[in-house]
Amino acid sequence: MEDCIFCKIVAGEIPGEVVHATERTVAFRDLNPQAPTHVLVVPRRHFANAAELAAGDPEASAELLTTAAAVAADEGHDDYRLVFNTGAGVGQTVFHTHLHLLAGRPMTWPPG
């Protein structure tokens, strides 16, 4: 997708603070962090949301979770929250699948 900011970060066309990368995923710090650790984990291939990714590339879908766990461990966190937003009505603003890894502060339930 030509106008997708996450595709551009994955391709190295615009800077992002990449903290972890695999064959299928890239993890980088969120520009507007909501916790001391706030990392976005994205598939290298473009899919609009988590449901599209799961249907189109189940291996990459699973790898988002293992990448997030690796990042949490690297950052020293045993406790963390993972969030997918799927659709504008729940807060998705970039329509490239991304998993939010949040850690480093107490979190309440229910969120938002």
Residue 40 forms part of a structural domain: yes
SS (H, E, C) the chain: CCCCHHHHHHHCCCCCCEEEECCCEEEEECCCCCCCEEEEEEECCCCCCHHHHHHHCHHHHHHHHHHHHHHHHHCCCCCCEEEECCCHHHCCCCCCCCEEEEECCCCCCCCC
- Domain assignment of residue 96, yes or no: yes
Please state the pTM of the whole predicted model: 0.95
Residues designated as active site: 98
Tell me, yes or no, whether 99 lies in a domain: yes
- Quick: pLDDT tens for 14-69: 999 999 999 999 999 999 999 999 999 999 999 999 999 999 999 999 999 999 99
Looking at the domain assignment, is residue 111 inside a domain? no
Which pLDDT tens digit goes with each residue over 72-110? 999 999 999 999 999 999 999 999 999 999 999 999 999
Structural domain count of the chain: 1
> What CATH number corresponds to the domain at position 28?
3.30.428.10
User: 41: domain range?
Assistant: 5-103
